[in-house]
Every structure is written in structure tokens, then in C-alpha cells.
Amino acid sequence: MSVSALALSQLGERNILSSVKNTWSNSALDKCIQNVLGAHARGLFGDGFVESVYDAVNERRAVLAVAEKSAARRPEKWGTPLTAGTKLSLTERRANARTRNICAGWFSAKLEKAGASVAEIYEKLPRASVRAVLHTICELCALSRGRCDAAIATIAHKAGCSRSAVEQALAQLKASGFISIESGKASGMTSIIRPALSCLVKVINWCRERLERAQKKTAQSDGSISAPGGTQKVRQKSDSYFLNKRLGGKEPNSGAVRDTETIAFPATGSIYFSRWRDLVKEHSTGVTPDADIVANAFRKFCKDKNIPLDAPKIEDRFIKIVQKFRI
């Protein structure tokens, strides 16, 4: 008689059935059946006990199968699995690719006007997504005193890239010496991106001059409208001037006077290139949040409270939300 059969016979029938119910492995159940059959062949157990062991093993196999399907034995330290992110449609991917390629093409043209070696820069930055991110940073620097403090989501939207692509591009641009990134945690603001090459400074200056010329034309064509609080100029833009020029479109509401009696908060779109973003930077407490995130929170607040976006003193309500907003 083998050692396993002898040990099995010494356990007793009741202990064997109890061990089957506490087994968590199919291989252990197979080993138990094998030993029981070996002991039965040597006359240690009768036919009735073997049948009871078979029934207990089959019941335990069913319990293990249910537990495996429902993941009941998954350790708690792993937590619940993350939900899959929404995938872009084919139309959205094509639109992002078109924006990305246009950004990269415009950037090469601006580098030529700045007198830089385009071939050398293309050799260091072979990917169009990285050049598109650098081009977007230059445009944002032209709109904000030579520095870019936009969020990654804003840069990704303007460059036609994903957040991960922007993060990889920023790491590559910083390692290659094209930009410098200053962390704003100590000073209570978002991180600041600055150009580190003279050719990029020339590109930024060229973008700023072009934007100033466009603003002068807009100021000449736009009339002053009277509001309850007095007379004011309308210079609010719903999107980037450069982005509209890239896509071959005209500046939104160019040459037209808005026939509104009060200031209306934009129902959709970005507020990054409008006066509302200046209010976010002026009235935010602590770390400066992304303007578009604050705008979406304010739209949700107005929708929940049934407040129209063109209500009186909508600007005061927006300032209060900005003061209470926390990242």
C-alpha cells in the first residue's frame, strides 16, 4: 500500500469529505479522487463511500466554477477594474489628424520666416504630433506674454493630439532643449512652459504681431454697444484666431456687431481666448485652474439652478464660482 493511500485511510471518511468541501483547486480534487480510487482498489473503502466522494467532488467543482466566473476570489487589494475610456470615432480621428498635420505644416513655414534650419529641426523632431504641440505652445505663448500656462487638455485640443501624446511630446521637447518647464506648485499656479531657442522666440513674435494686426482690424470694424453698466467694446473670441486661419475659416462673428443687451456667457466652446479666462486668472484662489474646466463647471451650475447664461450679473456669478473652485 502506498503512503498516500495509507495516509488517506488514516484520515477517516468524515475528514476526507470535509477536506473536499474546503478544497480551492481542481487539481487537488483530481488528486483526492485518484487516492480514493487507489484505496478502494486495495479494499480500504467501500463502493458507497467512493460514490459519496464523487458527489462531493462534483458539487465542489460547480462551486469553484461559479466563484471563478464571478471573480469572488479576487484579492481586495486589486480593487475594481478601471472602466475603459471612450474611443474616438473615425470622423474625430480624421479631424484630429488634419489639425495635427496643418499645425506641423504651418510651423515649418513660420520657422522658414524666422530663419531657422527646418531640416535640422525636422531631424530632431520627426513626428508630426511633436511639431504640432510645439507650434501650439508658440501660439499660446504669443497670446500670453511669451509663456504658456495652458492645461494639457487645452494643448491637446488645439494640436489635435491625445493627452498622452502631449505628455510624451513635452518630455521630448524638454530633453531636446526646445522648451523649459517651470513647476508652478510652489508659486500657486499651473506649470509654465517657455521657449528655449531664439528661432522659437522669433516665431512667437511673428504670431503676436499678426494677432495684434487682427485685433486692430476687429476693433475698427466692431462698434461699441451700450449695456446697462455703460459702453464697452466687444472683443470676445470663442476660439483661437490662429486655429480658424489654419482651417481656412473666417474669424467667428467678424465684422458684425452683437445685438445683445447684456453680457452672455458662451454656451459651448472654449473660453481660453476670451475675457472670461482673464477673470479666472484674476479671481482664482490657490492654484490657477484650467479655464475650460471652470467653464464647464459653471455651465453645469447654471443648468442645475435654471439660470440663463445671459442673465443679469452673470459675470458676478461666474466670479463667485471661480473663487470657490478648487482643483
Q: Per residue in 214-266, pLDDT tens?
A: 777 777 765 544 444 444 444 444 445 555 555 555 544 444 434 434 478 88
Confirm if 159 and 99 have CB atoms less than 8 A apart: yes
How many residues does the structure list for the chain? 327
Residue 76 has pLDDT above 60, yes or no: no
State the pLDDT at residue 255.
44
State the pLDDT at residue 211.
77
Residue 306 has pLDDT above 60, yes or no: yes
State the pLDDT at residue 106.
78
Which residue carries 495684434 as its cell?
A: 212
Give, as one character, the DSSP assignment of residue 78: G
Q: How far apart are CA 270 and CA 256, in angstroms?
A: 20
Residue 120 has pLDDT above 60, yes or no: yes
Q: How far apart are CA 39 and CA 42, in angstroms?
A: 5
Averaged pLDDT, 306-326: 87
State the pLDDT at residue 10.
54
State the pLDDT at residue 242.
57
Alpha-carbon dihedral sign for residues 227, 228, 230, 232: negative
Cα 155 to Cα 51, 170, 174, 291, 313, distances in angstroms: 70, 11, 16, 13, 31
Angle between helices 275-283 and 314-324 (to 10 degrees): 40
- In this structure, of 17-26, 38-47, 126-135, 242-251, the range with the lowest mean pLDDT score is 242-251
User: Side chain identity at 293, as an amino acid letter?
Assistant: I
State the pLDDT at residue 184.
61
Measured in degrees and rounded to the nearest 5, phi and psi for residue 93 equal: -65, -40
State the pLDDT at residue 290.
81
- What pLDDT band is residue 17 in, cutting at 50, 70 and 90? confident
Residue 37 has pLDDT above 60, yes or no: yes
State the pLDDT at residue 148.
85
CA angle at residue 280 from 276 to 283, to 5 degrees? 125
Cα 2 to Cα 8, 30, 31, 38, 169, distances in angstroms: 10, 17, 14, 9, 67
Q: How far apart are CA 92 and CA 89, in angstroms?
A: 5
State the pLDDT at residue 239.
46
Angle between helices 275-283 and 291-304 (to 10 degrees): 90
State the pLDDT at residue 196.
85
Q: How far apart are CA 88 and CA 94, in angstroms?
A: 10
Give, as one character, the DSSP assignment of residue 87: P
Q: How far apart are CA 166 and CA 107, in angstroms?
A: 16
User: What is the model's pTM?
Assistant: 0.46
The beta-strand segments (E) located in the chain are 179-182, 192-195, 225-227, 230-232
Tens digits of residue pLDDT in 136-181 = 888 888 887 778 888 888 888 888 888 888 889 998 998 888 898 8
